[in-house]
Structure 1
Amino acid sequence: MGYKITNIYVITTVAVIGGALFGFDIASMSAILGTQQYKCFFNQTGVNDKGQCGGPTSANQGGISAAMPGGSWVGALISGFVTDWMGRRGAIQSGSVIWCIGSAIVCSSFGIAQLVVGRFINGISVGILSAQVPVYVAELAQPSKRGQVVGAQQWAITWGILIMFYVSYGCSFLAGEKAWRTPWGLQMVPAALLFALTFLLPESPRWLAKKDRWEEAHNVLASVHAKGDHSAPFVQTELQEIRDMVEFERQNKDASYLDLFKGPMLYRTHLGMFTQIWSQLTGMNVMMLYITYVFGMAGLTGNANLVASSIQYVINVVMTILALLFIDRWGRRTPLLVGSTLMMIFMFANGGIMASYGKPAPPGGLNNTPEQSWDLSDAPMAAKGVIACTYLFVASYAPTWGPVSWIYPPELYPLRLRGKAVALSTSSNWIFNFALSYFVPPAFENIKWKTYLVFGVFCFAMTVHVFFAFPETAGKTLEEVESMFTTPGLKPWKTTVQYQHVRKLEQGAIQSDKLGDIHTEEGNFVPTSTEKETSVSQVE
């Protein structure tokens, strides 16, 4: 075999470095845009009487921030073609190379135009990685671990945010351009590591099967799921299910993006797209990328603002652990419903507190920052309330919409469409990320606290949508999910988690390691040394 790593958790740890790159970008921009070194270098709004630079205009800062998600939208769309051609592993490697190119341009920027171009190229990388890393680990993982390992994508994002925020905070003490060139240059290190380590990983068995590389697919399934035992019942069952699905899909024409909008497939396409759209419309973009503006309006300045902002990134990392531990037992629907309800409450609370206790800031905004257009300095308790609600919002998002928005889409689609379908779903995330990155700075400047009410309404709408339209996919093999969608009479609110079902399905492989035999429910024993295939009917 050409690969060295077969433990699914180690495979996931390497693959989700791609998610960490997105986190690096969020945190570096969040920490850097408030520093005087950045504002003075890209200054467009003049200097106040205290000698403070205003930085780019709010519209241009929105454009700088939006360049990355704009590129990500393009990257996500093309990733479907890249992954079908190069494989899941090859797509991840191409994304890591593109990231290094974009980061080199960004850290050497001498103007806003160059900064925008570099961030757009970075975005293409993030679009490819964010679309294909979840597909890759979903196609390798056992059903009972699928939510856990795909959710690790979100955990990696939170770690990327946390690490890069503190790196950027430390670099803020450097003089001049080094304060922002250094963190943006250091972003290349993990991408280079990802590129190198990916050579040690196996390719997706489902992609190999699609290319008629059946022996390699069998080897990967056996290595990852049964410690090399090719005749383990779960391996044989999964191989047969993949074989049946590939044969069925081969009888259909080649997959295209248009197939996602035809007939019953349109329903699943809308689910995948809205999972990603709603994850952006929760308002998490406000709480992460522009948190220094929010806390600036609450009266925090300088290092106090950056340190307070970093606390939410710690909360994000810690609370995401809950999802990794329990998401396959909780399922997908329940976290989405609970998360959106709580986030709605905290968004409305923040808007209410600001409206009741704040006042418009002087012209030009607090601390010469136009986006800090609302002043809570005369109401310290209200300011603490805004900070507390912000932390609680993040704690609600982290174990719910954060990971589930990456877990759910790869589970929805048949093999022949999965690469392109997840690419389309992820592109929906990025086009809305782009719009919000551009919208939020001018929104803070013009509609002020009402920005929170807009996102509160979105959270209410997504709660209703999820309840009536999103079926449960946890506790099912990818092939069983396909059967659920193709069986008439599906009622999403009546679907349940079937965790114990897949645990029983996988138990055969575990027992064969211990006993040296394969035991199925009908009492048939097959020696582990044989290569005989076990039919689907032999295992529950």
Structure 2
Amino acid sequence: MRSLYFYIVVLIVTNTANGFDNSMMNGLQTLSYWQDYFNHPRGPTLGLFNCVMSAGALTGLVILPFMLDHFGRKICLVFGSLFMLLGVALQSGSINFSMFVGARYILGFGDIIVICTAPLLITEIAPAQDRAILVTIAGATYHSGAFIAAWTTYGTLKIKNEWSWRAPSLIQGVFTLLMLAVVWWIPESPRYYVSKDLPEKGLQVLAYYHAEGDELDEVVQLEFTEITTAIAMEKNAEHSSSILDFLRTRGNRKRLLIIVSFGLFSQWSGNGLVSYYLNLIMDSIGITDANEQLLINGALTSFSLVTNLFFSFFVDRWGRRPIMLISSAGMLVAFVVWTALSAQYDAHASSSLGSGVLGMIFIYYLFYNLKSGLIASYTTEILPYTMRAKGYTIMEFAMYIALFFNQYVNPIALENIHWRYYIFYCCFLAVEVIVIWAVYVETRYVPLEEITRLFDGDDVAAATNVEMEKVQESGKGLTTAVHIERAA
């Protein structure tokens, strides 16, 4: 069990690299040496610097479901990590605009493969009692990377040459190297083994990491039976395992609506303004000193890290749906006040109004951080195994479409219509509250293989019970056969 939790911690850290990159790009825009080296990019050019990573991620998402289902989780982690290291090397050594942009495309391609695979594997190997908290923390570690990058760029501000921006780029590769060093010992998903008709390997993984190797342990037997039952039912269904499955039943259509909307909500809630263009917002309220901007960036990422980790431990106590409703409603109120204060600052240029905008940004992020860790845990929970990789990819695809739009359009909109652009996010947040209230399902305390009941109703639950009896017998037979073989 201690080994398993160590491996899960390594998987959790994978999202740190993603958070590091986003915050690093925020910080680099404040560094004069980066601005001078790339000729002070503005508008569409600045948007391209950021959005090209999302373009790479969208490319990676095209092949990801096939790789996850056919080669397993571990191969995907290795494959993505190698591309990330290549991107980091090229970005750190960039000598012109084209090389920097190309490096970020490669980095985005590898990054999306790693950050999609890690939460799936955590979901499928973690003990049931800690699954939700661990996957939520995995989502929250985005802010640990942002925290490290923010203070790294603040420190490199004192370097009076190109290494003020090359050094942070190079440090980004540390987290990926850690993954590559440990991934060979991380267990493969037992659900993957069962799906590939290797149930004995799946049982061995569950027994070794959840019960000190005791394959007859009641918890292990229950987990193994639920996994084999669910996967057997999905394989015996009257359709193939494809993305079209999301359109075939009412329950799956509801899953599709939730995962697509959650992906959009994660980036179109206004957070993209601060994540990549905090310096532009600070400029608009009279805070133009580079040192002060980097300090604010560091303080905001520190605040986000602490609040995210704190809230991660309450996902089971408070429930998923209440957290998401309170979070979205709180963001809406904070953003409306933020917009009103920005409009007043534009008219009167009062320093107190600028301070008010800064305060509302922190309040906004308090509510945003309440649910941001749920993106990974809630999405993986509501999807059955054969749809989990494809469904998580669809969610990430929706997220990166929104992110690509934000990264490219935000600097153009901020430059041309200033605070009026915030009105779009106020309206979208209102829609977000309505959709969560009307559609989202509570999954607190429901075992991973039984959440299907909440979407597909009692008919599927009844079918599960019938199939369960058959699989229980086959499971007992397999366990007995394994023990006889080992004794011989």
Give the alignment's TM-score, normalised by structure 2: 0.90
Cα distance in 1 for partners of 2:138, 2:404 equals: 20
Q: How many residue pairs get matched?
A: 461
Query: Relative to 1, partners in 2 of residues 1:183 and 1:418: Cα closer, same or farther, differing over 3 Å?
Result: same
Could you say which residue in structure 2 is the equivalent of 1:417?
A: 387
Cα distance in 1 for partners of 2:421, 2:119 equals: 32
Could you say which residue in structure 2 is the equivalent of 1:469?
A: 439
Q: Deviations over 1:242-270 (max 9, x none)?
A: 11122212224541222223333222112
Could you say which residue in structure 1 is the equivalent of 2:323?
A: 335
SS at match of 2:418: coil
SS at match of 2:141: helix
Counterpart of 1:262 (choices 248, 256, 280) is 248
How do 1:47-196 and structure 2 match up within 5 A?
55-196=40-181
After the TM superposition, which segments of 4 or more aligned residues of structure 1 sit over 6 Å from their partners? Answer: none
Could you say which residue in structure 1 is the equivalent of 2:15?
A: 19
Counterpart of 1:381 (choices 330, 343, 352) is 352
Q: Does 1:219 align with 2:204?
A: yes
Cα distance in 1 for partners of 2:188, 2:92 equals: 33
Could you say which residue in structure 2 is the equivalent of 1:499?
A: none
> Does structure 2 conserve the Cα–Cα contact (< 8 Å) formed by 1:319 and 1:399?
yes
Cα distance in 2 for partners of 1:129, 1:261 equals: 27
> Does structure 2 conserve the Cα–Cα contact (< 8 Å) formed by 1:77 and 1:424?
no
Q: Deviations over 1:291-318 (max 9, x none)?
A: 1221222222110111012111011000
Could you say which residue in structure 2 is the equivalent of 1:204?
A: 189
Cα distance in 2 for partners of 1:71, 1:107 equals: 18
Q: Does 1:306 align with 2:294?
A: yes
The percent of aligned pairs where both chains have the same amino acid is 25
Q: Does 1:276 align with 2:260?
A: no
Q: Does 1:390 align with 2:377?
A: no
Could you say which residue in structure 2 is the equivalent of 1:10?
A: 6
> Does structure 1 conserve the Cα–Cα contact (< 8 Å) formed by 2:153 and 2:294?
no
In structure 2, stretches of 5+ residues that fail to align are 461-477, 482-488
Please state how far the C-alpha of 1:144 moved relative to its aligned partner: 2.9
Cα distance in 2 for partners of 1:320, 1:229 equals: 36
Cα distance in 2 for partners of 1:98, 1:331 equals: 37
Please state how far the C-alpha of 1:387 moved relative to its aligned partner: 0.6
Q: Does 1:356 align with 2:344?
A: yes
Cα distance in 2 for partners of 1:417, 1:489 equals: 19
Q: Does 1:323 align with 2:319?
A: no
Cα distance in 2 for partners of 1:489, 1:308 equals: 54
Cα distance in 2 for partners of 1:255, 1:6 equals: 35
Please state how far the C-alpha of 1:486 moved relative to its aligned partner: 1.3
Q: Does 1:42 align with 2:38?
A: yes
SS at match of 1:487: helix
Could you say which residue in structure 2 is the equivalent of 1:503?
A: none
Q: Deviations over 1:301-342 (max 9, x none)?
A: 110111012111011000012222111222211111000011
Cα distance in 2 for partners of 1:320, 1:83 equals: 28
> Does structure 2 conserve the Cα–Cα contact (< 8 Å) formed by 1:18 and 1:96?
no
> Does structure 2 conserve the Cα–Cα contact (< 8 Å) formed by 1:12 and 1:152?
no
> Does structure 1 conserve the Cα–Cα contact (< 8 Å) formed by 2:7 and 2:182?
no
Could you say which residue in structure 1 is the equivalent of 2:471?
A: none
SS at match of 2:72: helix
Give the alignment's TM-score, normalised by structure 1: 0.82
Q: Deviations over 1:152-175 (max 9, x none)?
A: 222211000100121122122212
Mean alpha-carbon deviation: is it higher for 149-158 or for 168-177?
168-177
Counterpart of 2:275 (choices 288, 292, 299) is 288
- The one-letter amino acid paired with 2:355 is K
Could you say which residue in structure 2 is the equivalent of 1:366?
A: none
SS at match of 1:255: coil
Cα distance in 1 for partners of 2:3, 2:140 equals: 19
Query: Relative to 1, partners in 2 of residues 1:230 and 1:22: Cα closer, same or farther, differing over 3 Å?
Result: same
SS at match of 2:306: helix
Cα distance in 2 for partners of 1:144, 1:461 equals: 34
> Does structure 2 conserve the Cα–Cα contact (< 8 Å) formed by 1:132 and 1:423?
no
- The one-letter amino acid paired with 1:379 is S
Query: Relative to 1, partners in 2 of residues 1:34 and 1:62: Cα closer, same or farther, differing over 3 Å?
Result: same
Cα distance in 1 for partners of 2:195, 2:249 equals: 23
Q: Would you tell me which structure has more helix in proportion to its own residues? A: 2
> Does structure 2 conserve the Cα–Cα contact (< 8 Å) formed by 1:257 and 1:420?
yes
Cα distance in 1 for partners of 2:391, 2:342 equals: 41
Q: Deviations over 1:403-442 (max 9, x none)?
A: 1112111112111111111111111111111111111101
- The one-letter amino acid paired with 2:378 is Y
Cα distance in 1 for partners of 2:316, 2:264 equals: 23
Cα distance in 1 for partners of 2:5, 2:418 equals: 44
Q: Does 1:439 align with 2:412?
A: no
Please state how far the C-alpha of 1:489 moved relative to its aligned partner: 10
SS at match of 2:314: helix
Cα distance in 1 for partners of 2:92, 2:357 equals: 34
In structure 1, stretches of 5+ residues that fail to align are 44-54, 360-375, 491-529, 534-540
SS at match of 2:214: coil
Please state how far the C-alpha of 1:102 moved relative to its aligned partner: 0.9
Give the aligned CA root-mean-square deviation in angstroms.
1.9
Q: Does 1:345 align with 2:316?
A: no
> Does structure 2 conserve the Cα–Cα contact (< 8 Å) formed by 1:18 and 1:92?
no
